[in-house]
C-alpha cells in the first residue's frame, strides 16, 4: 500500500514528466553541454605549453584571432571548399538521381556501385586522391595521349582535388536521398501535369525540381552536409602530408587542419585556449551558414 501511495504522489506531481525525461537530460548535459561549455571556458584562458595552469584572460584569444592572418586564410579556404564541394555534390547528386529515377534494367546494380564511396573511410578517400593515388594513373594516361600533365602539387590544383575527393565521397549519398525524395512525388501529380499539357521539360522545371528542392528532406540534408563539410579534416590531412614535404602546406590548410597544426606542431607551443576559441568560431560559422542555407533552400528555384 505504501508503495502504491508513493507512486500516486509522483503521478499527481506536475514534475512527473520531467522525472521521466531526466535520464535523457542528464546524458545530453554530460556528453554535449559539458564539452561545449568546457571548450568555451578554455577559450577564455591561456592554457598552453607556457602556462599549464589555465589563467583567465578574457577575450584575449579572440583578439589574437582577429589579427591572425593564417587563421583568416584557413577560414577563407574552408568557405571556398564548403561552397564548391556542396554545390558540386548537390548538382551531381540531383542529376544522377533524375537519371536513375526510371525503371531501367540495371538500376539496382548502379545504385549498389554508387554506394561504395559512402562505405569508404574518409582517410582512405584522402589517400586515394593524394598525388600517388589514382591521379598518378590519370597523368600516365594523359602522357600516353601526348597531353600536358596535371601538376598535383600546384596549390590551386590541390584545392580542386580536395573538392573532387569530397564530392566523390558524398555525391552518391546525396543522390540516394534525392532519389527517394523523387520517388515520393505522387504519380497523380506528375500525370496531372502531363494531362494539362506539360512537356517533359516543363514537368521537370515546374513540378519535379521545385518539389525536390523545397522538400524539408533536401533542406535538412543541405544543412547537415554544410556543417559536416566545415568539419572535414581527413582529406586535407592526407593531402597536406604529401605537400608538406614541398613546403606548400598553406594551400589546403582549412580551419580544422590549422587547429590540428596548432595543437600538434611543437613550434606553436600547444595553445589550447587559442585552439578552443577557433573551434568556437568554427562552430558558430558553420551553424550560421547552415541555418542560412536551410532557410534559403526553398528559394533557389522559382516557378514564375
Partner 1 sequence: MASVTLKHISKSYGTVRALDDVSLSVGDGEFLTLLGPSGCGKTTTLRIVAGLETPTSGEVYINDQPVNGLPPRERDVAFVFQSFALYPHMTVYENIWFPLKIRGESLMGRIARTKEVAKLLGIEGLLKRRPRELSGGEQQRVALARAIIRKPKVFLMDEPLSNLDAKLRVQMRVELVRLQKELVTTLIYVTHDQVEAMAMAERIAVMNAGKILQVDVPQKVYNDPQDTFVAGFVGSPPMNLINASYIRREGAVCLDTGYFKLDISPLAGAIEEGASSSELILGVRPEDVKVLPEPPLEESICGEVYAVESLGSEVIVSVKLGDFLIKAKQSPDFKSSMRDRVYLILDKKKIHLFDRKSAKLIV
Residues forming a β-bridge with 48 = 51
Smaller CB separation from partner 1, 98 or 198: 198
Q: How far is the CB of 199 from partner 1 (least distance, A)?
A: 7
Smaller CB separation from partner 1, 2 or 188: 188
Residues forming a β-bridge with 56 = 45
Q: How far is the CB of 176 from partner 1 (least distance, A)?
A: 22
Q: How far is the CB of 195 from partner 1 (least distance, A)?
A: 4
How many CB atoms are closer than 10 A to CB 73? 16
How many CB atoms are closer than 10 A to CB 281? 17
Q: How far is the CB of 86 from partner 1 (least distance, A)?
A: 22
Q: How far is the CB of 205 from partner 1 (least distance, A)?
A: 11
Q: How far is the CB of 98 from partner 1 (least distance, A)?
A: 17
Smaller CB separation from partner 1, 17 or 197: 197
* Among the listed residues 22, 24, 54, the one whose alpha carbon sits nearest the alpha carbon of residue 39: 54
**CA separation for the pair 133, 44 (Å, rounded):** 42
Smaller CB separation from partner 1, 84 or 182: 182
Q: What are phi and psi of 222, to 5 degrees?
A: -60, -45
- All three cell numbers of 242, joined, read 604529401
Smaller CB separation from partner 1, 86 or 211: 211
Q: What are phi and psi of 87, to 5 degrees?
A: -60, -50
Helix (H) or strand (E) holding 121: none
Residues forming a β-bridge with 45 = 56
Looking up cell 525540381 gives 209
* Among the listed residues 65, 73, 56, 28, the one whose alpha carbon sits nearest the alpha carbon of residue 279: 65
Smaller CB separation from partner 1, 3 or 186: 186
Give the footprint of partner 1 on this chain (CB under 8 A).
186, 188-189, 191-199, 202, 206-207, 210-211, 214, 303-304
Amino acid at each position: 500500500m505504501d508503495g502504491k501511495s508513493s507512486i500516486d504522489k509522483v503521478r499527481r506531481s506536475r514534475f512527473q514528466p520531467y522525472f521521466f525525461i531526466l535520464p535523457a537530460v542528464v546524458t545530453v548535459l554530460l556528453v554535449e553541454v559539458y564539452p561545449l561549455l568546457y571548450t568555451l571556458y578554455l577559450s577564455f584562458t591561456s592554457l598552453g605549453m607556457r602556462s599549464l595552469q589555465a589563467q583567465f584572460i578574457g577575450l584575449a584569444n579572440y583578439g589574437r584571432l582577429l589579427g591572425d592572418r593564417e587563421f583568416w586564410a584557413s577560414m577563407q579556404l574552408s568557405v571556398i571548399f564548403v561552397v564548391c564541394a556542396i554545390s558540386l555534390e548537390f548538382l551531381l547528386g540531383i542529376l544522377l538521381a533524375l537519371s536513375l529515377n526510371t525503371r531501367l534494367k540495371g538500376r539496382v546494380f548502379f545504385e549498389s556501385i554508387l554506394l561504395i564511396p559512402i562505405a569508404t573511410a574518409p582517410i582512405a578517400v584522402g589517400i586515394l586522391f593524394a598525388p600517388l593515388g589514382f591521379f598518378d594513373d590519370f597523368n600516365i594516361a594523359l602522357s600516353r595521349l601526348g597531353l600536358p600533365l596535371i601538376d598535383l602539387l600546384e596549390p590551386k590544383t590541390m584545392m580542386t582535388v580536395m573538392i573532387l575527393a569530397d564530392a566523390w565521397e558524398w555525391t552518391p549519398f546525396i543522390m540516394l536521398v534525392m532519389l527517394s525524395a523523387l520517388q515520393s512525388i505522387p504519380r497523380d501529380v506528375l500525370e496531372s501535369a502531363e494531362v494539362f499539357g506539360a512537356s517533359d521539360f516543363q514537368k521537370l522545371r515546374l513540378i519535379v525540381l521545385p518539389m525536390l528542392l523545397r522538400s524539408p528532406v533536401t533542406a535538412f540534408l543541405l544543412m547537415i552536409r554544410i556543417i559536416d563539410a566545415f568539419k572535414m579534416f581527413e582529406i586535407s590531412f592526407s593531402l597536406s602530408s604529401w605537400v608538406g614535404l614541398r613546403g606548400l602546406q598553406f594551400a589546403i590548410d582549412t580551419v580544422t587542419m590549422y587547429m590540428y597544426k596548432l595543437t600538434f606542431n611543437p613550434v606553436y607551443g600547444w595553445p589550447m585556449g587559442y585552439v578552443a576559441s577557433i573551434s568556437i568560431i568554427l562552430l558558430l560559422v558553420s551553424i550560421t551558414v547552415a541555418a542560412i542555407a536551410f532557410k534559403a533552400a526553398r528559394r533557389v528555384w522559382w516557378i514564375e
